[in-house]
Each structure stands twice: as C-alpha cells, then as structure tokens.
Structure 1
Amino acid sequence: MTTTPSKSRSSSWLPSWAPNDPAFWEAGGKARAWRTLAVTTFALTLAFATWFMVSAIVVRLNGIGFNLSKSQLFWLTAMPGLAAGLLRLVHMFLIPMYGSRHTLTLATLSLLIPAVGWGVAVQNPQTPFWVLMLLAFAAGLGGGNFSSFMPSTNLFFPKHMQGTALGIQAGIGNFGVSLTQFLTPWVVGVNLFWFVPGGYQAWTWANKTQDIWLQNASWVYIPWLLLAALLTWLLIRSVPVKANFGQQFAIFRDKHTWVMTSIYMMTFGAFSGLAAAFPLLIKELYGGFENPPLPLKFAFYGPLIGSAVRVLFGMVADRTGGAVLTTISALGMGLGAVAVTFFVTPTSLDSFPFFVAAMLAIFLFSGIGNASTFRQMPIIFNPPQSAGVIGWTAAIAAFGPFIVSMLISANLAASGNVKAFFFGLAVFCALNLALNWYFYGRRGAEKPS
C-alpha cells in the first residue's frame, strides 16, 4: 500500500497525502484530517446505533403481541453480529480499492434498509420470524461499516496520533450502542411520525399496559442517516493509496495478526457481545420477580461506560504505550467475569445492583482494552499492514454479538443459568493476558508496544 497519487483518479481522490511530514501536516493536512474525523465519527455513531437497535427492540416484541421463544429472541440479538463479522471481512478491502468518499457514503446509505424495514415489521405481530431474522441480519450492515471507517482514519493521521484519532472515533462511535438503548424507551413513547401510515401498539410489561410506537426505535435514525451520507459525500475525499490483494493478504502470514485478533476478540468481542445481550439477559435473569427492572433503563450504562473509557484511554495509550493498558484490561475483565457468576442465579432483586455493578466493571475494562489495542497495532505493524490488521481484527471481533448471544442461549437451555459462560470468559481473559505479556509487555518482548 502506498500514497502515490494516480493521475487517472477522479476529484474524489486527494492528489497526495503525507501526514507524517510536519510541514504538510501544519499546512493543511491537520485541518482536513480532523474535519474528516468529525464527519466520519458522526456517521460511525449512527452505524453502531443501527447495528444495536435490535437489542433494544427485541425486549418489547412479545409485549406487543409477538410470540417468540427465548431461543428466537437470542437469535435475533445474535444475527447483527454474524452479519457484521462477515461484512467487515469485505469492508477491510474496500478503502484502498474505492476510496473513503464512495465507500463511506454508500455504506451509510445502506443503513436505511434495516432502519426502514424494522419500523414496518414491528407494526404487525404476524410478521414471520424469517423476515425478522433477515432484518436483524441487515442491521449488521452498521457493524460491518466499522472496518471501512477505521482503516480510513488510520490513513489520515500521522503515526504518533493514530492512537488518539482511532480512540476518539471508535470510542464516540461506540456511543451509538448506548445511544440506541438509552433513546429507544423515550422515542417509542411519542407519536413522532404521525404523518406516516401506521399506529401505536399496546405494550404489556409487569401487568401494566401502555401505548407505544415501537417503529420509532428504527425510524428515528432515518433523517440522521441521510444527513450523514450527504456530509460524507460533500466533505470527504479519498487518500491516494494503492494496494492489491496480495499485499493485503500478507498480514495473515504474520503471527502477530493472530495474537492481536485474539486479544481484540477479548476486548471488543466481549464489549459488543455483552452490549447486545445485556438487555435480554436482565430480562431473563431478573424479569420474573415482582416489579422487575426495565432492561433498557440499566443496560445502556454498559456500552456508555465502555465507550467513554475508550475515548479517554486512546489518549492515555499514546503516552503510556498500549501493552500495559491491555494487561490491566485483561485482569479487570477476568475478575469482573468471575464476580458476575455470584449474581446470575438470583433468589430476589436484592442481588440485582451487584449484578449490574459486576457487568459494568467488565464494560469499563473492555473499554480500556479497546483503546490500548488500537494503539498497539500501528506500532506492531508497519503502515501498509496496520490498516489491514485493524480491519481484520475488527471483523473477527464483530462476531462478538453472535458468539456471546449463542453461548448465553445455550447455557440457559442447558443449565438454566450463565455461570459457565462467564467462567469461560474469565479463562479467555487469562489466556490473552499471557499472550499480551509474552509478546508485547515483558522486558525483552518481541514487539514492545
């Protein structure tokens, strides 16, 4: 991959780009890079909100007349993760081939498919399950976009600022997860789209019934997606990079690609997976008691904390290095996972605050790791490889919602609780703690980062 300009390329492509040249950076590169980051971060936040809106919708489906089993509900929360992982494998090749302007604009417009579709589907309780599954898969378009946004940002900033830039974009983008879980209970209570055919649904929860407009949970993003696509087309240009498939596939011959894939699966895989499953997990574990907690009232705190920490620690990682923070992340996540196991077989609501606190601890430390790993990758790999590795690791970690939802569903079916899942997460954290220490964190490590 090079930044050599191509004379045959259109005005969508910058004539040259040299962010590591101080004179170029100060003369105008810095302003363009930060403007690009602002626009693409706005679009990425909407992408994450669209990706995770299914997790906020499914907890209300049976309450408005659908008749879905526990397994079917977890399948719906899992499908966006499956789609995101598969689509990220495609997205990781698009920026060098088609450029940031075309790729990111079209990727943003594609999110109108699930945004419109879910709003229509939830208004009819007779909507077939296979249609809901297709729409859940389509929501994964939002997760797939990440592997175009992040490699694009990686190209716009000098190496010493990539931890900060990627931390800001990924962290604020991750706010889309908490945004959709926080916003949904508010927007569904108001007839926002009174001018569109369709009506309210009678939602029953804890023996109480109220009128809601569940279609708002997805339709609310439509105008913002259109605005984001317009801004992306008008304000973004593409860095003149060239890369063939051979160059991009070279990353798979490097063992560090696989080590970082495992580590990022621990951090972002767990973050995204638990963010998707958290509302339904609250409903399944604590929804049977009198006056049960509303899942979305608490679930949004997890991704909110993880996202905020990712923004902050992206800047910290540029100063301290990533390996030490990844160590802290793995330790904290592992201990948090063990702590959760004490509160997943409740006999009353008294243990609910402790369950939430232990879950939030996992989100907090995953946020630290999400920031530190994105600092490590540009250091471990050279510039042509680092963008590809970021795209690849992000693609695999995007399977988190699918893997976590399926494992939790299987655990509930087999034993009625999720202790085995959280013990397994703790073991996985211990494994990655060892990998990070050996290759990147110890004195004399092969790739100190």
Structure 2
Amino acid sequence: MTLIDDPRAAQSAAGGRRTGRWIDDWRPEDPEFWESGGKQVARRNLAWSVFAEHLGFSVWLIWSVSSAFLVSMGFDFSAQQLFVLVALPNLVGSLLRIPYTLAVPAFGGRNWTAISAALLLIPTLLFAVAVQDPDTPFWAFCLIAATAGFGGGNFASSMANINFFYPAAKKGAALGLNAAGGNLGVALIQFFLPVIVGGAGIFGLVQASSSGISLERAGYVYAGLALVATAAAWFFMDNLGTAVSKPREQLVVLRERHTWIMAFLYIGTFGSFIGYSAAMPLLIRLNFWVPEPAPLGTGIYFAYFAFLGALIGSATRPLGGWLADRYGGARVTLAAFAGMIVFTLAVLATLLQLTPNPTADPAIATDNQSWFAPFLVCFAVVFACTGIGNGSTYKMIPAIWRTRAERATAEGTPERYAALARGTTEASAAIGVIGAVGAIGGFLIPIAFSSPWVADPRSATIVAFTTFTAFYVLCAVVTYAVYLRRTRPDSLAHAGI
C-alpha cells in the first residue's frame, strides 16, 4: 500500500508538477488500505469539510433571519421585498452548485475548499457595510444577498469531494454526516445571529441589547470565521490525485435519466429543508407576531423559534443516511415523503385556524398565539422528514451508479474496477447536478409564501402548503414507481437501492 500524505512525497511522485497536499494512491474499497491509514485520512478531511461547509451554510442563510430585523433598523421594505432577499441567495447558490462540483477534480478538494471559504469574505463584508446605512437601496441589498449564494455552492463541492474519500458501504453515513454538519449552519446562524446583533438573549444568560440592533456584527463575525476555514482547509485537508476528470466526462450525467429523477426527488427533500429554513423566521413574524409594544412586541417573537426547524432537519440527516445504509435508500426516501405529506397537511390545518393579518391588531396576534404550539410541532416533524429524506437520497445516488457498473462487468476483472472508478466520478458529478436542481426549491418556497397575497400572510401560506403537499405526493409516487416497484428483472428495485 502506498498512501501519499506528505506534500514533498506527493510532489516527487507527480514528477514535480504539483504543490500542496496530494494523495495519488487512494483505494477506499481495499479493506487493508482502508484500515491501514485510509480511514484516518478520510475522517480528517471529513471533519474539516464539515467545518467549511457549516460556515458556508451559515453565510448562505444569513439573510433568512437578518431580513426580519431590517424594518426595525429603519429600512422601509415590504414583506414581499423581504421574502425576495431571503430567496435570492438560494437561487444563486443552486446555480453555483454545478461549477463548484466541477471545481473539485479541476483544482483538488483541499484547494477548492480553501478558495470557496475565502470567497465568503465577499458576502459577509458587504453585508456588514450595507446594513449600517438606512439609505442603502433595495437593489443593492439584492446584489449583496445574491453573493451569499457562494455559501450554497460550498455544499456541492464538499459532498463531491467527500464522496471520493469513502468506500461504498460507508458513503451513506459519511455523506449524511458531512451534509448534516453543513445543514446545522442554518440552525446556528438563526439561533446566534439575533444574539450577536443584540436582538435577543439566551435563556437569561445574555440579554437583548437596549441600544438597538447592530446587524453589522454578524457580518464581521462570519468574515473572521471564513478566514479560519480558509486556513484550516489549506493546512489540514488533502487533494486526491484519483479524483480527476474532465468537465465533459463529468457532465455525461446530464444525459442520464436517473440524474433528473433524483434531482426531482431532491427538490422535495433538500429544497423543502432549505426553503422552509429560509422562510420560517418571516412566516412566524407575519402570522404570529406584532411589533408593538417594542422591543419584543405581542405574540410569538420569531427570533426564539426560527432556528428549531433547521436544527431538527440537520440532526436527522445522518439518521437518514444510516437508515438508508441499513434498509435501502429508496424505502427510507418513500417513508420520508409519506411523513412530509401527513404533517404538511397538519401544518395546513393549524393555519386554517389563524386570524388573517395579525399586524393589524395586537389582539389578533395574541389570539393566533394559541395555535403556535401545534403549528411548530407539526412543522418540526416536516423538518425531521426532510432531513431523513436528504440523507437517504444521497445514499441512493452513488448506489445507482455503482449498481449500473456492477451489472455491466464481471466481478474481479479490470473492467469492473475501471467501471467502479468511472461510476464514482460520475456519481460525484451527479451529486452536483442533483444538488443544484434540488436547491432551487429554496428559492421557490419563499417566493410562494410572498406572492401574490402578502397583504394576507395566512392566505399565502395556505395556498403554498397545499401546493407543496401535492408535490410530495408526486415525489412519493415517483420514488415507488422507479426504485421500489419490481416490474422487470433488471429493475433497480432488485438492487435494494
């Protein structure tokens, strides 16, 4: 076994063509190689990948909770404009996921992780400057919010990179843990940003600021963390020489129907997770809270609950990967969609009990407050199901490509090894495409909540949740029909994907 983990040795082995930490012999499917050092290297790279991706998600969703504070800081933005600021980073982040995926084999996983972390300085520092000036125009906020999409692209490159490090039997748990660490960034920024900027306290240990909100603090804090992530990736991660392919070779997955089927399902799981996470602070603010009397208003103060959904969805993602390793990704995905259907209908039932437009009268917010607990519990279960579905779908992707490689070749032959290597490369490319398409849900969901009934937030949310429920039913039907229904002997259902 030759495990190159020394920069000088790697450079020598590559004929002096490379600099930095490169590993040119990587065989995770070889048990001896894995146990003799491969496992430790993979875990180290996974740990720092989680940190960088976690930060990326935090920056990506920085507008999800800060938008709810802008009006109190003197910015005259409508509810519809606030939902646009929430949605724009998700749109840009989804579009960046394909080039970010292609960047891993082009630049090396370690190198690109450092570059992508450094790019987070742009949205964080621009955010810090803009929120200090109440005269900053809305179009400028839109451009700055769009740059937060850099954080959304980090997910695709991180997942594609870690996919190369782990053997097939451990991909579900590894990818689930990597994704969960990133997803947790959504919950933590929604929890800590109100505290950092002085908008809320923590269980009496930290008090809300009496001098007003200072949103710029959050921008400076996360800019500092971006510098830490850049340095950590540069000094502690590795590039894999085996994770090399040309963009044309990777983009062959665009002609594969399973890429688009899985992308469709991922809109239902991850698209729901990121979309609901982005919209939840404003949903609570518009349906359950009135800003008078200041500073905490009447009804349910959004800053205390906005993070819970994202936290639950992040925590259940590794569970989805583990369950998929044990019972099969398609079965777990189908169960996740079933749960999303049932509990989205339950959320809808609570919304039907609300009095419209609580901003008109503090008494209305107090009346709606009695329905907040069932709303939150049902919504939390929806988040849990999205997390489980996220983990199980990411188990399905490499399993599909591995199954196809195994069926096309004989066991133990050079053709089998070549097909498996090609399948891993294509699966990593597919992860980027699927992640990009799935993340579009993070843009569509806030837009659905904001238009065209913003004057009546309850009507907007009822129509939106009704539409989402119908979509989840369609996702469940597709999952069963393609991956679980045993119609032909060569059906993927026989592979237990």
Cross-structure match for 2:158: 149
Q: TM-score, normalised by structure 2?
A: 0.83
Letter in 1 for 2:239: S
* Structure 1 match to 2:345: 338
Asked if structure 1 preserves the Cα contact closer than 8 Å seen for 2:97 and 2:433, the reply is yes
CA distance in 2, matches of 1:319, 1:265: 24
The residue that corresponds to 1:285 in the other structure is 287
Equivalent position amino acid for 2:425 in 1? P
1:385 match = 426
Residue 409 of structure 1 is aligned with which of 432, 435, 450? 450
Preserved CA contact (<8 Å) 2:57 2:186: yes
| Residue aligning to 2:197 | 188
Aligned equivalents of 1:6, 1:405: Cα separation in 2:
49
In 2, are the aligned partners of 1:59 and 1:283 still within 8 Å (CA)? yes
Displacement of 1:170 in angstroms is 0.2
Runs of 4+ in 1 over 6 A off after TM superposition: none
- Matches of 2:464 and 2:379, distance apart in 1: 13
Q: Which moved more, 1:352-361 or 1:258-267?
A: 352-361
Q: Pairwise mapping of residues 104-123 of structure 1 onto structure 2 (< 5 A)?
A: 104-123=113-132
1:195 maps to what in 2?
none
- The residue that corresponds to 2:220 in the other structure is 219
Rounded Cα–Cα distance in structure 1 between residues aligned with 2:429 and 2:349: 40
After superposition, the C-alpha distances for 1:69-116 in whole angstroms (9 at most, x for unaligned) are 111111100110011011112112111111112211010010011111
- Which of the residues 43, 58, 70 maps onto 1:61? 70
Matches within 5 A, 1:359-398: 359-381=379-401, 382-398=423-439
Instruction: Judge conservation of contact 1:411–1:421 (CA < 8 Å) in 2.
Output: no
Q: CA RMSD in A?
A: 1.9
Distance 2:248 2:44 in 1: 32
1:234 is aligned to 2:235: yes
Higher alpha-carbon deviation: 353-362 or 103-112: 353-362
How many residues align? The count is 429
User: Percent of aligned pairs with the same residue?
Assistant: 37
Secondary structure of 2:212's counterpart equals strand
Offset at residue 10 of structure 1 (A): 3.4
Decide which moves more: 168-177 or 234-243: 234-243
Residue 164 of structure 2 contacts residue 428 of structure 2 at CA under 8 Å; is this kept in 1? Answer: yes
Deviates more, 1:336-345 or 1:147-156: 336-345
1:126 equivalenced with 2:135 (yes/no): yes
Q: Paired residue for 1:160?
A: 169
The correspondence of residues 291-330 of structure 1 with structure 2, limited to 5 A, is 291-330=298-337
Q: Distance in 1 between matches of 2:180 and 2:281?
A: 21
What do residues 175-228 of structure 1 show as CA deviations (whole Å, max 9, x unaligned)? Answer: 0000000001211129xxxxxxxxxxx99xxxxx75232212222222222111
Q: Distance in 2 between matches of 1:356 and 1:217?
A: 26
Residue type at the aligned position of 1:395:
A
State the partner residue of 2:378. 358
1:405-439 superposed Cα distances (whole Å, 9 cap, x missing partner): 11111152486512121111111111110111111
* Greater mean deviation of Cα atoms: 337-346 or 41-50: 337-346
Once residues 437 and 104 of structure 2 are traced to their aligned partners in structure 1, the CA distance between those partners, rounded to angstroms, is 18
d(CA) in 2 for partners of 1:282, 1:401:
17
Taking the aligned partners of 1:118 and 1:292, their CA distance within structure 2 comes to: 29
Task: Give the Å deviation of 1:274.
Answer: 0.6
Partner of 1:243: 245
Partner amino acid, structure 1, of 2:492: K
Shift of 1:21: 1.0
- Please report how far the alpha carbon of residue 15 of structure 1 lies from its aligned counterpart in structure 2 after TM superposition: 2.1
Tell me the CA shift for residue 444 of structure 1.
5.1
Q: Give the conservation status (yes or no) of the 8 Å contact 2:270–2:438.
A: yes
Q: Equivalents in 2 of 1:412, 1:369: separation in Å?
A: 30
Greater Cα shift, 9-18 or 232-241: 9-18
1:434 corresponds to:
477
For the pair shown, which has the larger CA radius of gyration, 1 or 2?
2
Residue pair 2:267, 2:437 contacting (<8 A) in 1 also: yes
The Cα of 1:292 is off from its aligned counterpart by 2.0
- Considering Cα pairs closer than 8 Å and 6+ residues apart, tell me whether 1 or 2 has the greater RCO: 1
- In structure 1, the partner of 2:31 is 22
> How far apart, CA to CA, are the structure 2 residues paired with 1:118 and 1:81?
16
Partner of 1:197: none
Distance 1:103 1:369 in 2: 28
Conservation of the 8 A alpha-carbon contact between 2:58 and 2:189? yes
Q: Is the 8 A contact 2:65 2:306 kept in 1?
A: no
One-letter code aligned to 2:159: M
Local SS of the residue matching 2:148: helix
**1:94 alignment counterpart:** 103
Indicate the residue corresponding to 1:42 in structure 2.
51
Distance in 1 (CA, whole Å) between partners of 2:346 and 2:14 is 55
Residue identity in the other structure for 1:217:
A
Task: Flag the 1:411–1:124 CA change in 2: closer, same or farther, 3 A.
Answer: same
Residues 73 and 134 of structure 2 are in contact (CA less than 8 Å); yes or no, is this contact kept in structure 1?
A: yes
TM-score w.r.t. structure 1 length? 0.92
Deviates more, 1:261-270 or 1:10-19: 10-19
Whichever residue aligns with residue 284 of structure 1, its letter is: L
Question: CA 1:86–1:336 in 2, change beyond 3 Å: closer, same or farther?
Answer: same
Q: Distance in 1 between matches of 2:244 and 2:198?
A: 49
